């Protein structure tokens, strides 16, 4: 079954047109999966889905990951433990209903501190502020494709430590002992250049910057090299900026993209429901692509 798409940028993302996520046929689901592998992120506008609908669509992509243990714990809608709430809103008792507040969420890859990170994440907009809170995506496939030779040689065959101490909003994860030492921080080592298991394309895999570390270098050399890699990978030419509308569902491939969020006025409400799809394997080193 053919579905209609519109590119969001030449390098990342596409809008899927005229699809109601409450009733996706098996052929349409297969077409969506193919578009997802191709574009790295998909946007579905004007949806009116329930939490049950969100879970049903999510499970069509794979098994669900439990919500991450954010600064306020694992906060989910009542009766829906596989959904977690991203919000700055407080309940009637003054307690947060979700995570990440209203500040900036820096560039990151979701839960890359795990040995097997999530394959995909999706965010559904229930309430949005009048301004701010935009979500940015960048293509790590295109970043790898255009990677300068000196950077490619500097990271070839090397792994990067992905820290799990702090989340993308800069908050200490609940139950984690704080540290800024990458050797002591919780987290996983992953290849700096990976291969997309479906498309075979190479991908730059950075995770998040704080407490990151490139093996085989001293702290100063690692830090300078990471600064250069991050400045390179997040250039505007690799990015898409999403301006939210209520009813938007944004789905991104956690392997081939990174994302971030702009801050917004904390007096405005922002409520998003989010799911994550389990990864099936650890990131695959690019040098083992043919194995």
pLDDT tens digits for range 212-221: 999 999 999 9
| pLDDT for the residue 290 | 36
The CA-CA-CA angle for residues 121, 146, 259, to 5°, reads 20
Distances (CA, A) of 87 to 75, 209, 268, 276: 10, 23, 10, 17
pLDDT band at residue 288 under the 50/70/90 scheme: very low
Is residue 186 predicted with pLDDT exceeding 60?
Answer: yes
Assess contact for 221 and 120: CB atoms under 8 A.
no
Local confidence band at 67 (pLDDT 50, 70, 90 cut-offs)? confident
**Which tokens go with 31?**
């077409």
Cβ burial, residue 183 (10 Å; 0-12/13-18/19+)? exposed
Q: Is the pLDDT of residue 36 over 90?
A: yes
Q: Number of C-alpha atoms within 13 angstroms, CB side, residue 10? A: 3
Alpha carbon distances (Å) from 15 to 36, 129, 273: 10, 22, 19
CA angle (271 as vertex; 46, 90 as ends), nearest 5? 160
Domain positions in the chain = 4-288
Query: What's the count of helices (H) and strands (E) in the chain, helices before strands?
Result: 5, 18
Dig out the tokens for 81 from the structure: 């433990």
Residue 238 DSSP symbol = G
Report whether pLDDT(189) > 90.
Answer: yes
- Which CATH superfamily is 4-288 part of? Clavaminate synthase-like (3.60.130.10)
- Confidence (pLDDT) at 185: 83
For position 291, what pLDDT does the model report?
Answer: 33
- pLDDT for residue 110: 92
Element (H, E) at 144: helix 140-145
Please give the mean pLDDT across all residues of the chain. 93
pLDDT tens per residue, range 4-15: 999 999 999 999
């Amino acid at each position: 079954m053919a579905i209609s798409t519109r590119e969001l940028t030449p390098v990342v993302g596409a809008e899927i047109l005229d699809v109601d996520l409450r009733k996706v046929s098996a052929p349409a689901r297969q077409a969506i999966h193919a578009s997802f592998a191709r574009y790295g992120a998909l946007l579905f506008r004007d949806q009116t889905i329930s939490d049950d609908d969100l879970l049903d669509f999510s499970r069509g992509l794979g098994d669900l990951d439990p919500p991450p243990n954010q600064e306020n714990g694992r906060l989910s809608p009542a009766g829906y433990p596989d959904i977690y709430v991203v919000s700055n809103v407080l309940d009637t008792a003054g307690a947060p209903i979700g995570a990440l507040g209203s500040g900036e969420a820096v560039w990151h890859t979701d839960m890359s501190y795990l040995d097997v990170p999530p394959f995909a994440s999706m965010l559904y907009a229930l309430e949005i502020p009048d301004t701010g809170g935009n979500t940015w995506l960048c293509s790590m496939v295109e970043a790898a494709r255009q990677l300068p030779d000196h950077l490619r040689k500097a990271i070839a065959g090397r792994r990067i430590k992905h820290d799990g101490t702090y989340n993308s909003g800069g908050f200490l994860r609940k139950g984690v002992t704080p540290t800024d030492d990458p050797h002591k921080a919780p987290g996983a080592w992953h290849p700096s250049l990976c291969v997309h298991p479906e498309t075979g394309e190479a991908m730059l895999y950075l995770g998040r910057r704080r407490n990151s570390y490139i093996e085989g270098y001293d702290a100063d050399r690692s830090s300078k090299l990471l600064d250069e890699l991050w400045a390179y990978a997040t250039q505007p030419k690799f990015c898409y900026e999403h301006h939210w509308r209520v009813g938007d569902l944004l789905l991104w491939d956690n392997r081939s993209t990174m994302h971030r969020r702009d801050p917004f006025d904390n007096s405005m409400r922002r409520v998003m429901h989010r799911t994550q799809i389990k990864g099936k394997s650890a990131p695959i080193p690019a040098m083992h692509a043919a194995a």
